[in-house]
Chain A
Amino acid sequence: MGQSGGGAKPRIGELLVSAELISNDQLEQALLHQKTAGGRLGDIILANRWVTAVDFYSVLTDQFRKGRIGDLLVERELISERQLLEAIETQKHWGTRLGDIILARGWVKPYLMGEALAEHFDKPNVDLLKDRLDESLLNRNDLSTYSENLFVPWRREGGLLKVAVADVNPKLLEMVDEIVDEPFDFVITSKFDIIWVLQEIGNQFYTEKAVHELANSKPEFSASEVFTVKQLIFLFISMTLSVIAISYWPVNSLVIINVIISVFLLLNFGLRIVLTWVGGDKHFDNLVTDEEVVAVDESTLPVYSVLLPMYHESATLPNIAQALRSLDYPLSKLDIKLILEHDDDETIETAKELGLEGIFEIIRVPDSLPKTKPKACNYALHFCRGELATIYDGEDAPEPDQLKKAVIAFQKAPQNTAVIQARLNYFNVAENWLTRMFTMEYSLWFDFYLPALDALRIPIPLGGTSNHFRMNVLREMEGWDPYNVTEDCDLGVRLTQAGYRVGVLNSTTFEEANNSIPNWIRQRSRWLKGYMQSYLVHMRSPILLYRKLGHVGFWGFQFFIGGTIVSALLTPVMFLMYILWLATSTTAFDPYFPPIVLYITLFNLLIANGFLIYLFMLSGFKRRYFSLIPWALTVPMYWLLQSWAGYKGFWQLIHNPFYWEKTHHGLTTFEVTHDIDASKTPVRTPAPSRAGAK
């Protein structure tokens, strides 16, 4: 905050004349009007549009200011002298405004800060919940702009529009000037009042945008239509031809089908080997070094929005709040959105009880269908102010320097980089067999596959959390597809198609691995259903997709996304045939396995599966989870579970495509931490009383 000196102040009119913003005649005219009709001289000048509010306050800010904001807060005994000194010292590093630092520290409640600000600027402090705004002044099309920039037209007084703002700075005034396009002055309010009132008034608008924006503007990318007519026709023709072929030429047809399946699985295996090799390059572990993080100038860091969608996760809220507070990033540059469903009173109450600092904002998502995480995030996107944005889940424990690393990674990355995916892993590694499998799978996925996909320019299916976006690109893409239950995967492919790059980052967010098989099946069936949705969406125009992604990207997409689905669905069929053959020594399958097919199948069965088991081992080895390595030998059982989930997802795709199969979190008894050592006996904490679901 700027400072004003003491002593006699020059008159406003004289200052404006001397700055050549108004003429002497205009000043005389304004004074005359003031004499006859009363009112403040500044308001009269602004109302006559002789000068814009931006120019007006650029000359006169100090005229209105009363004392230093810090001194005002100390005077009001809202902060101590020591806190003030600490805030000033912090300001030198963070480069943000003093008020933001004090709010971020949680030393002063936002509404009290509003009062102090109002006094500082000599403007009224309004409580928007009591002093209701005039809704007729709002332009519905500008609701997003209001919420993103924290201002809202309040009332018209004395012919002059009063705009409620949570902060005052030239950039904001310029923005307001541009949007309201008429003379205005401002009043002070708290950002929470603005958010609250905008949500109340604009619920329908924000919801409509969150749910239908993508489907309206880019219907070709919306999963709201599961199968297009063309796809249904293609499916019908393919199935009809297959049935005819099998009826007339059963052996040959089945051999051809067998060849296609075997070769596909072989290539799928080949791709995974390539990805493991490429992704295993240690270069990817040093994309951003610790030295670079230490050397970063915090004052240059951008405002970072953190989206935290939660549903019935009150138990995990304190943990994630603490994890976010612990981030090595200027707190005053954090714009954290707790995105809570309207009916989730339990989590909303917990958030209130926690008395979170001013950097946390609660966004209540109104009840509407589909009730999905992407829809909630889309909704919250209208309230985000960051230049960059990321998403975390309630049970996440990101490494503290992740945001800084993401900023550096963006600086080092090509200009067209739209999103950078951090690694995901688990903190409850050794809880049971399932968490061990899940951990190895995630390590393989995020530590090997995704870096390789980045290197090979194959579309990256983003992970559910810890993806760091450039906000402008995210908005340009219309956010996430609310109808896609793996909206993250879909967005990664969409971004690549739009010519953006999806990068990776050597920082890990630790999550809670599913420790219950039914819960895991629910989660995995949703993921696989989402993959099917994404595949269907992006394969609506395969030739167009080929043109956009190129050879490697297209085939990489086929085998990485398509391969995951096909593998899951085919594994039990192949296993069943194998077990039947093994148990009965039947020769019934012989005609369908001519030598070359038999060899490929044998290769897939023995070498490919063997190496896929080995890849699991490598994932544990790279993460130094040595104790997991022997467990990798049991991974075929995990594949069967995956197939189960695959068939469930497939069934749901047909019968209930948009249903968001909930995953319960907070089931673990392990401590939420980013400091993992899988070889040690885990530190246990009492089990949370209520499990969350997402």
Chain B
Amino acid sequence: MQQILNRTGLEGRFFISLLTLALTIVTIWLLANGFISDSATERWATVIAALGAQEVVLENFTFLAPHLPLYLLVPFYYIPGLEDGGAPYLLSIIAAAFLLFLWAHHLREVELSQTRLAMLAVLVVIHPGFLWAATSGSHIALSMVAFYLLYRGFQHIISDHDIHSYISLAVTFVAFFFIDGSAVFIFVALIPLLVVIAPLRTIMVSPVGLYLIVGTPFAFAVATWAYLNWIFEGSFMHFIEHADSAFLGGMLYTNEYPWLLDYGGQFFKPLLAATGYLLIAYPVSVYLLLDTINNNYRFRASFVLLLHPLIAIAIATSQYYLTHPFEILALISAGLMAELTYVRMQTRREFFFLIVFMVVSVVGGWWLFIETANPQMTQWVQSLTGKHTADASKDGDLQVGLWLKNNRLPTLVYERSAFKVVAARGDAEGLVLSFSHDFKSAMRERHPNVRQIAVPEPHSISGRRDWINIRYPHLYDHGMDGFRLVYDNLGWRVYRKVSG
């Protein structure tokens, strides 16, 4: 190595800080151009609804989505200036920055020069998989951190086979489950691959022992979740039975997702399709596999990196969970980062080929991302290119939310399908939301004892899932005795109790 090595890490940290700043600017740019992530809004709405309730209890968060991303948003709730919903985006940037710093720290093991670190970091960050995760405000940035640690765990098991590596792997899986519903599929996909990761001798002596060591904490995590569902919601299966559950992915709305329409319920076809996606978006992982063919340890790791997400995608699709392959495919960026911490790019030739394949991956990734984008991804790309993508004045949810912000009477509203309403209102103070006792008792009454009722148009997507509509099917059109219409705009109506 003729260049200065990244020994102190100071320069590396400075560069990563610059990248973090760049990610922040990109995010601000996206938001300024009207990009709004439904996932981010939903999480933020859940948090403000839970914390703004009369009694702040765990069940306010509902058990229909993993809780860790919600808990991480809790501190932001108390920071002034973030009430408009910027917190999830900030959290994504923090998670991405944490991942980058962690990666730069681990890269010191391979004695990389500053220039090379900068080149690699830029190529990682500008890949759409990473950039999308880091700036879209979704939970995928957190999933990437988990996947990175998971992959480092694989690497450690292969190279060191010490107890720390198994504990890390098991604990990361637990955390993963509380971050992302797809962790179940990532875990299941690992089961056949464990024979590649773990030492052959251990597998031969006690495969059961090995699987128990890796899988028991994850099984406990799932069981814990089911138990909490039973305690608070009355059913162990609540989180996979409820229509609004994030754990179901796209299962109940297959028709809305082209990927599920094409491949839902199948295994081999999505596997093949995902392989094609991978070859286009991440050819660098194929290069790493071929490059390590003479190194047993590294080859096994590269093999897992190549195959693991593909199997996970196939399984998740077979269960109608995965709405778009990029939800898991993007994690390869994190896996790749972990892989690079083990690659010794000592010669100029090795590094050159790596860079070439990473550049090809970036180009292929962008092409694929744009070609296969779902509406949300399309909106993101458009915002990135400077097109103004959303007009708040035409969004019924946002408008009713803003109206409720100015008309702060206790209002009955079903927030699960109308999370934007709560997010736009900025807080949940005075709202009677679905997890509260007041909401449940209101649902039992012929005429709910609340000051206001907000209800969406019953034939809209959210209107069909709205519990108030289900309980009072004529409310939207005909109103209710004792209530008068005070708001009617863009598919939302608000009825106010006639005083006296």
Contacts and interface: CB of A to CB of B under 8 A. Distances in A.
Nearest to B224: A606
Q: Which of B56, B58, B167, B231 has the most CB of A within 10 A?
A: B167
A602 B228 contact: yes
A282 B167 CA distance: 13
14 contacts: A280-B163, A280-B167, A282-B160, A602-B228, A606-B223, A607-B220, A610-B217, A617-B212, A626-B202, A629-B206, A629-B213, A630-B208, A630-B212, A632-B212
B205 interface: yes
Interface in B183-238: 202, 205-206, 208-210, 212-213, 216-217, 220, 223-224, 227-228, 231
Contacts of A618: 163, 166-167, 213
Interface in A225-284: 276-277, 280-282
B271 interface: no
Given A607-B224, A614-B217, 16 more contacts: A277-B167, A280-B164, A595-B55, A595-B57, A599-B58, A606-B220, A606-B223, A610-B216, A614-B220, A618-B166, A618-B213, A626-B205, A626-B208, A626-B210, A627-B206, A630-B208
A607 B167 CA distance: 15
Nearest to B161: A282
A679 B166 CA distance: 21
A630 B206 CA distance: 11
A629 B163 contact: no
Interface residues of B, number: 27
B208 A629 contact: yes
Interface in A600-628: 602, 606-607, 610-611, 613-614, 617-618, 620-622, 624, 626-627
Nearest to B59: A595
Interface in B164-190: 164, 166-167, 170
B477 interface: no
Contact of B206 (A280, A611, A626): A626
Instruction: Decide if the interface of chain B is mainly helix, strand, loop or mixed.
Output: helix
B220 A282 contact: no
B162 interface: yes
A638 to B, nearest CB: 17
A282 B163 CA distance: 8
Contacts of A613: 216, 220
A280 to B, nearest CB: 4
B218 to A, nearest CB: 10
A619 to B, nearest CB: 9
A517 B58 CA distance: 42
B57 A629 contact: no
B220 A620 contact: no
A620 to B, nearest CB: 7
Interface in A60-95: none
B163 A679 contact: no
B292 to A, nearest CB: 25
B70 to A, nearest CB: 14
Contacts of A614: 170, 216-217, 220
Contacts of A622: 163
A280 B170 CA distance: 14
A621 B213 contact: yes
A277 B165 CA distance: 10
A611 B217 contact: yes
A282 B162 contact: yes
Interface in B225-272: 227-228, 231
B227 A606 contact: yes
Given A281-B164, A282-B163, A595-B57, A621 B209 contact: yes
A629 B162 CA distance: 17
Contacts of A620: 209
B162 A679 contact: no
Nearest to B213: A621
B239 to A, nearest CB: 15
A599 B56 CA distance: 12
B220 A610 contact: yes
A262 to B, nearest CB: 15
